[in-house]
A and B are shown apart, each in its own frame.
Chain A
Amino acid sequence: MAQVSRSAKAYDVCIIGSGAAGGAAAKVLTDGGLNVVMLEAGPRLNPEKDFKMFAWPYQLPHRGVGVGGKLRGELNSEFMAPNGAWEIEGEPYTSAPGSRFRWFRSRVVGGRTNHWGRIALRFAPVDFKSRSTDGMGDDWPITYEEIAPYYDKVESYIGVFGSKENIPSAPDGVFMPPPKPRCTETLVQKACAKAKVLCIPSRMAILTNPLNGRPACHYCAQCGRGCVTASNFSSSQVMIPPAQATGRLTLITNAMAREIVMGNNGKAEAVDYIDKNSREEKRVNAKAFVLAASACESARLLLNSRSASFPDGLANSSGVVGRYLTDTVGSSGTGYFPQLEKVPPHNHDGVGGMHVYVPWWKFDRKNDFLRGYHIEVYGGRSMPGVGEFDGVCDEFEGYGASLKQKCRSMYGTFIGFEGRGEMIPNEHCYCDIDPDTVDQWGIPVLRFHWQWSDNEIKMAKDMQETFRSIVEAGGGTFLSSATADGPRPYGIADGGVIIHEIGTARMGSNPKTSVLNKYCQAHDVKNIFVTDGAAFVSNADKNPTLTILALSWRASEYLLSEAKKGNL
C-alpha cells in the first residue's frame, strides 16, 4: 500500500461530498456541536469569479459553446456554474455492452446543487408504499408522515415557492408565493384546462421573499449559471457558509475519497483520499462517516472499500450496493404556437425555470402503466443562444432577409414539454466496478448496466400523447422526433440523462435486501451513513433533491443523537 500521510486529529464526523446531502449534514451536525471534516473532490467556489450570471453570449468569444463548439446542443454551456460535466478528463466511467448511460458529475463545492433545476417536489404518501400499492418494487422503511417534518424544516430553511393545491400526488409544503406565469405559461394553463390536465404553479427552491439575509430573486432567469445574490438554493451558498460560521467545519477540497478504512472494532475509522493538488494519498480519521458523494459515487466508494470482513465492498453483505439503480423516465416534445408571434417584446425572463407545471394528475384511474409522471414546461422569449434557430433554418431553408425575418417571427413561439416519470427498479439496471479501468488517481471506476422495461416505454408513449393533446388544445402544432421504434422508443432518454440516478445503497428493514436502515445508517457498520440519493427505495416522479435534503437532515439528527448518547 502506498505511503499514507496521516492526520493526527480525529474528527467527530467525516462527510464525503458537499452537495445537497453533504451540505445538509454539515449544517445539522455542526449546529449540534460536532466537529466535522468534509471532503470535496473539486475545488472551492468563488461566485464573484466563477458565476457568469450577468454575461451575454457575445461577451464570450465562443458565445457559450466552448472550444470548437463542443458544447453546442449540450445541456451545459460556458455560462453554467463551473465544474459540472458529462465527461471529466481523467475520471472516466464505462457502460457495459448494450447499455447506454450518461453520468453528470459536478466536482466543486456544492456539487450538483450549483447546477440543478431547483425543482423542489415532495414525494407523496403513496410514493413510500410502492409494493403495497401495486406489487412492484418495495416499500420504504419510512412513511410520508415520518419525513414530512423534515420537508417542513428543509423548505423553511432553503426557501421554496409554490401554492397550496391539495393534490394527493403532489403534497403541499411550506411555500413562498409563486411568481406570475409567463405568456407561454398562461397559454399552457388554458390549454391544460381544455385538455383536462392539471397545471399549477411550480415548486422551486428560489426565493420570492427575502430569507435569512438572502434577497429575493431579481428575475434574470439564470439560476443555472449560479446566483451571485444566493437567491436560489445551492449547498455552496446556503448550507456550507453557516456550517463554516460555527467554526466546527473543516473543508478539504480537491480531495478524492478512495477507500474507507475499517478499524478492529467493526467500525470504520478513516478515509483514505487523494489530494489532487499533490497527487498524494492522505488519511483523515473520524468517529462516524457520512457518504454524500452522489448515489453512484457513494456506491463506488463502498464497492472499492474491500477488506477481509467485507470482500465485496464495505457494508455490502447484502450484495445490494450498486443494485436498484434508477433514473427518471424522460421524454420531450415541443409545441409551435403561432399566436405567440403577437406577443410584444417584453421581459419574459422570470426565475431560472418554469413558473407552472403539470403534477401527476391521473392518480385516480387505471392507466396503461404503473406509477406516474409530471410535466415541466419551458420556452418563449428567453435569452437567445447558439443553436436557437437550427429548427427554423432547417424548416424554412433558403437565405437572406426572408430567413432573418422568419427567425424573428418564430422567436419565442415554441413551448417545450418534458415528461418526468417514475422508473421501477429492475435487475438489468445497476452499477459495479469495471475490472479493467481505473481513473487517473488509480481508483477503479464504475461500469453502468442499463435497460428500460416496458413500463417506462409505455409511460413515455403516454407522455407523447399528453404533450400532443395539450399542444393541440392550445391551438398549436405538435413537433416531436419520437418514434415508436428504434433505440429510444417514444423519445425515452438514455439512462442517467435526466440526472436523477438513485437507489444504489437503498434503505430497508431487512439487512439481507437493503444496505441502510431507516436512518440511512449501514446495517453492517453502525458508524457509516449514506445520506444521498443512494438511500432511496423508489424514484418517484419527483425530482430527488428536496427528498435528499430531508433524508440527510433526518439522518444527521439521528446521528447527532446517537453521538450524544455515546453510541458511535
Chain B
Amino acid sequence: MGLKSVSRRDILKSLTMGAMAGSVLRVIPTQAAEYAHHLVDAEKAATPGGSYAPKFFRPRQYKTLQSLCQTIIPPEGDTGGALEAGAPEFVDLLTSENSDYQLKLGGGLMWLDATCTDRYGKPYLDCAAPQQKEILDAIAYRANALKDPSLAQGVAFFAFLRNLTADGFFTSEIGIKYLGYIGNKYMPDFPGCPPVPDV
C-alpha cells in the first residue's frame, strides 16, 4: 500500500494509537509523521475565498479600515499587502468580540473622520491622497503628539491599529513567506546554523 492511499485520519491514528490507546507503545514510522505534516499542510492551506461580511465595522468604516491597513502594510513587488493577507478580517473579528478594541478602533476611526472633516472638509476616505498622507504622517509618530496634544488620541489609535495590522499580515501565509520563515515541517535531523559572518 502506497502512502498516498492512506488517509490522513489513518496516519494520525497510527501516530496517536501507540501513545494513547492504552496498549503498549507501538513503533511509529517516521515517514508517517512526515506524511501527516504534508497532508495537514495541504488540507489547511486553502484559505477561505469570497467576500467577507464585517462583523463589527459598518460598511463605510470597514472600507476605511481596509484602506488604513493596506497603507500600513502595502503590497510590494510580487508580495501582497495587508488586504491580501486578510488583516482587516482579522482585525474586524477580534474587534467584534472585544469591547476595548471596539472603543479604540471604532472610536479611533470616528476620530479620524471627524479630524479630516475639520481639516479638509470631508471624511478620510474622500480626502485627496496628499491630505490622507498629511494626516497619517501626523498620527504615525508619538513625537507629533508631544508638539500638538490634539493629535494624542489619533496617535494612540494608529499605534494600536499598526500593531494589529502587522499581526494580521505577518501571521498570514504571504506574510510568513515574505519573512522567509521556512520551518514547521518534518526534519529527520537538525542541521544547525549555516555559515554566517559574525555568527
Contacts and interface: CB of A to CB of B under 8 A. Distances in A.
A181 B192 contact: yes
A524 B24 CA distance: 38
Interface stretch (A117-125, A385-393, A444-452): A385-393
A404 B76 contact: yes
Contacts of A348: 183
A385 B189 CA distance: 25
Interface string B88-124: 0010011001100100000000000000000000000
Interface string B47-81: 10000000000000000000000011110100001
Interface residues of A, number: 86
Given A57-B171, A228-B12, A347-B183, A68 B94 contact: yes
Contacts of B86: 58
A246 to B, nearest CB: 10
Closest 8 pairs between A and B when the two form their complex, measured CB to CB: A180-B192, A345-B180, A68-B98, A68-B97, A57-B171, A244-B22, A213-B25, A349-B183
Contacts of B26: 213
A220 B24 contact: no
A134 B19 CA distance: 45
A59 B71 contact: no
B5 interface: no
Nearest to A218: B186
Contacts of B29: 215
Interface in B165-199: 166-173, 175-176, 178-194, 196-199
A343 B21 contact: no
A56 B198 contact: no
Interface in A12-64: 45-48, 54-59, 61-64
A58 B191 CA distance: 27
A339 to B, nearest CB: 4
A205 to B, nearest CB: 15
Interface in A384-419: 384-390, 392-394, 397-401, 403-405, 407-408, 411
A69 interface: yes
A58 B172 CA distance: 5
Interface stretch (A182-190, A276-284, A490-498, A549-557): A182-190
Given A54-B37, A228-B36, A345 B24 contact: no
Contacts, number: 259
Given A48-B13, A218-B33, A59 B44 contact: yes
Contacts of B30: 215-216, 218
B27 interface: yes
A344 B196 contact: yes
A371 interface: no
Interface in A130-188: 179-183, 185-187
A351 B29 CA distance: 19
A129 to B, nearest CB: 38
Interface in B1-46: 9, 12-13, 15-16, 18-30, 33-34, 36-37, 40-41, 44-45
Contacts of B186: 218-220
19 contacts: A47-B16, A56-B44, A58-B176, A68-B98, A70-B98, A215-B29, A220-B187, A221-B184, A230-B18, A347-B182, A349-B187, A386-B171, A388-B170, A399-B158, A403-B162, A403-B166, A404-B178, A405-B76, A411-B180
A65 B72 contact: no
A219 B187 contact: yes
B152 interface: no
A346 B194 contact: yes
A389 B74 contact: no
Contacts of B192: 179-182, 186
Given A186-B193, A220-B185, A400-B72, A213 B179 contact: no
B140 interface: yes
Nearest to B68: A399
Contact of A228 (B27, B33, B41, B188): B33
A212 interface: yes
B136 interface: yes
Contacts of B140: 397-399
B20 A407 contact: no
Nearest to A346: B194
Contact of A56 (B76, B184, B193, B194): B184
Given A213-B24, A339-B197, A407-B166, A228 B16 contact: yes
Nearest to B188: A218
Nearest to A347: B183
Given A228-B36, A408-B178, A344 B194 contact: yes
A114 to B, nearest CB: 12
Contact of B33 (A61, A229, A399, A404): A229
Contacts of B20: 45-47, 236-237, 241
A241 B26 CA distance: 11
B94 A229 contact: no
A511 interface: no
B159 interface: yes
A193 to B, nearest CB: 14
A311 interface: no
Nearest to B175: A384
A475 interface: yes
A388 B189 CA distance: 27
Contacts of A387: 163, 167
Nearest to B178: A408
Contacts of B74: 400-401, 404
Contact of B162 (A54, A64, A393): A393
Given A213-B28, A218-B186, A245-B23, A54 B13 contact: no
